[in-house]
Amino acid sequence: MRRINGSVIASLALVVTVGALSFPVWSYADRSGTGQANMAAGTVNTKWGPLTASDRDLIIRVRLAGLWELPAAEMAMQRSKSASVKEAADHLIVGHKDLDQRVRTVADQLGVELPNQPNEQQQGFLQQMTNASDDQYDRTWANLLRSAHGKIFPAIGTVRNGTQNTLVRQLASDTNQTVLDHITMLEKTGEIDFDAIANGTI
């Protein structure tokens, strides 16, 4: 009898332990763009080379950028009266449509789950643009987008230089060119508040 009780207790303890270990994975998996494959901190071997956590992070960030910058650009085409802002918006539309196709193809090949909506911060950026008055709209739009591009630019270079995965390296190279083009076009609008961006107030 003692042996049976001991086995039952041991089995219950094992179930509880496995459940406790599994719960963080289960509870985290429903977050936008965070599938179980993306949560693994280690490196996964693929036929295109090893896929690291930083590789997966860049893939997801490229997708997220398109999810909010495309609607931001489309909004500018409707609201802005500035020819330079509309020209920059057109570059964003063309660039992110192309990148979105590329990143979805790469993610599918590498088994990386992608988000389908902007994250909370990005939704906040879009709301700031929506709420901006007509006389502040162009500057708000350009500053938010210039700041976002500037923050991802170093990460792209780091992954491009360090990744051993050929698909990720090509995506990083394509993204680098697109982001540089967008930064150049945004600066041409004349609406950038460089001091605010440098001080981190944007």
- State pLDDT tens for residues 105-148: 999 999 999 999 999 999 999 999 999 999 999 999 999 999 99
What are the Cα distances from residue 14, in Å, to 1, 8, 23, 40? 20, 10, 14, 23
CB distance 66 to 96 below 8 Å = yes
Q: Could you tell me what percent of the chain has a pLDDT over 90?
A: 71
Does 93 score more than 60 pLDDT? yes
CB distance 165 to 181 below 8 Å = no
pLDDT of residue 190: 85
d(CA 13, CA 15): 5
Q: What is the phi/psi pair of residue 116, to 5°?
A: -115, 5
- Provide the strand spans (E) within 117-170: none
Does 91 score more than 70 pLDDT? yes
CB distance 91 to 177 below 8 Å = no
CB distance 50 to 44 below 8 Å = yes
Of 66, 71, 74, 64, the residue nearest 119 (C-alpha): 64
Q: What is the DSSP letter of 44?
A: B
Does 101 score more than 60 pLDDT? yes
CATH 3.30.565.10 fits 41-198, yes or no: no
Domain ranges of the chain: 1-30, 41-198
